[in-house]
Amino acid sequence: MQEVGAAYVPASNFNPPMLAGAGAELFDIVIRMDGLGTFADEINNCVEISLGRQKLKVLSLERILASKLAANRAKDRLTIPVLRDALAATQSVKHRVRKK
């Protein structure tokens, strides 16, 4: 995270764990997932990405979308069209790659 200008801030009595710094907008710490299984269950729905020398497990777009739909908060409803578009674009690319 240092490479992108972000730092982890541990939870305190009044605040959940969070990320701070200019690069923090690249990350989101999830402490609750609406509409999904437990963290132990959802680890199977993760994809692994590289961040510098580190490998991170992140939820697939399908599972992020499912959680946003279940949460149904105003801020989640704003991201749903973007997530649907991103999912459609990635599925289109995967489909074209399989055809070759």
What are the sequence ranges of the domains in the chain?
Answer: 1-31
- Percentage with pLDDT > 70 across the chain: 92
pLDDT higher than threshold 90 for residue 31: no
Examine the pLDDT at 82 and tell me if it is beyond 80: yes
Contacts of 1 (CB under 8 A, 6+ apart): 7, 8, 19, 21, 23, 27, 51
Confidence of residue 100 (pLDDT cuts 50, 70, 90): low
**pLDDT tier at 33, thresholds 50, 70, 90:** confident
Long-range contacts of 28-34 (CB under 8 A, 24+ apart): 30/59, 33/59, 33/67, 34/67, 34/70, 34/71
Residue 18 has pLDDT above 90, yes or no: no
Whole-angstrom distance, CA of residue 36 vs CA of residue 46:
12
Assessment of whether the complete model's pTM goes beyond 0.75: no
